A and B are shown apart, each in its own frame.
Chain A
């Protein structure tokens, strides 16, 4: 157990639907990062939150949004889902000023049918 918890582990949904992926960071970590891993694109950075505030945005679609709550857990919302959104979505957390290594969750496998 890495200490970063992601739920659900698997999600199957239809095109056009909306889903929410949840992440609880490792205790003490203030930063949460979301990554998308698809077969042809590798690991793509989506967005970062630090202590409730958005800090960096990567290749995140407008149909996707995220937030980090006061208890530091984060949610990634994916809407108007398309077949191409099928991927493994990772959450990672880190503690700044320390070792700069991320701790990853086990991911959520999203399948859009």
Chain B
């Protein structure tokens, strides 16, 4: 079974600064995807960024980038130029590939990020 661990329950960052959220995972699989989801106060779950395990290049989406270390099973999210709208809970998630229709996302417990003005 796969597990996803987010050990930091809360973080805070000053507006315009950079913050890194940590995530580790445990799996014996070689083919998988990793995700970061954002849950703002509205409670909607929003996909932030996705990383395919077979890709060595770290994914980037505008101000969001990841540091994917496959051997270390580490998947951190870096938010640059933090904005007030980034205040949210962030979840790291894992999914096995090639399971056909039986794919299932496994989530970490999440980290609450507060951006200070």
Write the residues of chain A forming the contact surface with B, with a CB cutoff of 8 angstroms: 2, 30-31, 33, 42-43, 45, 48, 50-51, 55-56, 58, 88, 90, 92, 94, 96, 99-104, 106-107, 109
Contact = CB atoms under 8 A, between A and B. Distances in A.
Contacts of A106: 42-44
Interface in B85-117: 91, 95, 97, 100-110
A101 B101 contact: no
B68 interface: no
A2 B47 CA distance: 11
Contacts of B16: none
A90 B45 CA distance: 9
A104 B45 contact: yes
Size bin of chain B's contact surface: 20 to 34
B25 interface: no
Contact of A88 (B35, B43, B46): B43
Contact of A101 (B50, B97, B100, B108): B50
Contacts of A55: 101-102
Interface of B: 33, 35, 42-47, 50, 91, 95, 97, 100-110
Contacts, number: 59
B44 A104 contact: yes
Contacts of A48: 102, 104
| Max count, chain A CB within 10 A of own CB: residue among B35, B45, B100 | B45
B71 to A, nearest CB: 22
Nearest to B97: A100
Contact of B101 (A2, A43, A96): A96
B43 A56 contact: no
